[in-house]
Amino acid sequence: MLTLPPELREAFKEPFGPLFTDVEALLAEAEEPIIAVGDMVTYHLRQAGHEPHVSVIDGLTERAAIPEEVREALTDAGEHRTEVVNEPAELSRELLLALREAVEAEPDTLLVVEGEEDLATLPAVLAAPLGGSVVYGQPGEGMVLIEVTEAARAEMRDLLVRFDGDADAALATLGV
């Protein structure tokens, strides 16, 4: 549905919110519902005793397989499990629809992505309710917390419409 153009890659280098290395400090700032994007983020939230409303994982961290300990800890994540395909540097209709449905559905949904979930932060912010939180991993640095506000949604929408593909259809799929 959408593909990240090479000239837009630079926009993803800097965190979209405050960076945390301590999960307890992050949870003290985060508001419900929490959407986690990334295997290590989901793992750390669960290790701290918090099951995200929605978790998006792909079995990778920094493009390498996650440690076996993390894989085992995530096998029982989420009461509801959905598998989707999403190629690297893309946002598939399947991922967008599953994310929207997971946010609207009962809590504790695990979206298992075949391919890559790195760009799922953008649609997660757009699909999440105002006042919620999206947490994603910043490679080699920690976890980033995005408070879902109108300003955060506008920033993500502005990025998404610069992708190659049908941005209007993508936004419609997300229900925004």
Return the SS3 of 17: coil
Distance CA 72, CA 67 (A): 9
Angstrom CA distances, 12 to 5, 83, 136, 137, 138, stand at 12, 25, 12, 12, 10
Is position 41 annotated in a ligand binding site?
yes
Is position 37 annotated in a ligand binding site?
no
Indicate the DSSP class of residue 66.
P
Is position 164 annotated in a ligand binding site?
no
Is position 168 annotated in a ligand binding site?
no
Contact 129, 149 (CB under 8 A): no
Angstrom CA distances, 116 to 26, 30, 91, 111, 155, stand at 24, 25, 9, 11, 22
Could you list the residues known to form a binding site for GTP, using ranges: 39, 41, 58, 117
Could you list the residues known to form a binding site, using ranges: 39, 41, 58, 117
